Amino acid sequence: LIDSARSNMGQMANAITVLTSFLLGRYIIEQEQQGSERAKYGAKVLDSLSSYLTEEYGRGFSRSNVAGMRQFYMAYKDREDEIIQLGIGQLETAYKKIPFKLSWTHYQILMRIEDKDERDFYEKKAIRSNWNVSTLKRQFHSSLYERLALSRDKNDVMRLANEGAV
């Protein structure tokens, strides 16, 4: 009972952290930058938002974290409709429906993968295989996606990847 409760609390906290990061990234793009991927020259959007959020809510809103939230939204904005359908007020009961199943640390790695198909591959594989962050990094840096795409024996590549012999 206790293990299950702790696991569920951890999953819910992770889901809400990731969702909050996505929504803050969306806010930065849509409100602060008027839909532009970049702020106007000289605008200190990230600096001022970081200062405000840190003053108001404490740690976790450094300039680089806020920039990461913006980058996260840009990488995953195709999921916006799913998130809007959830409704913010339903988070406590609907966290399992949130279209992000990994931790924020996982997504900090994934959002840096420019190719959407490759990013989706690593995300799905990390979810299905329950990869921790170290395994995700190792598989990405060993070019698992490219090796599978080029391989004639995809099962053998996956077997080696799963055994850690990459």
The length of the chain is: 166
pLDDT digits over 6-59, tens only?
Answer: 777 877 888 888 988 999 999 999 887 776 766 665 458 888 999 999 999 999
Answer whether 50's CB lies under 8 Å from 66's CB. yes
Note the pTM of the prediction, 2 decimals: 0.74
> Which one-letter DSSP state was computed for residue 97?
G
Dmax (CA) for the chain in angstroms is 55
Q: How far apart are CA 73 and CA 68, in angstroms?
A: 9
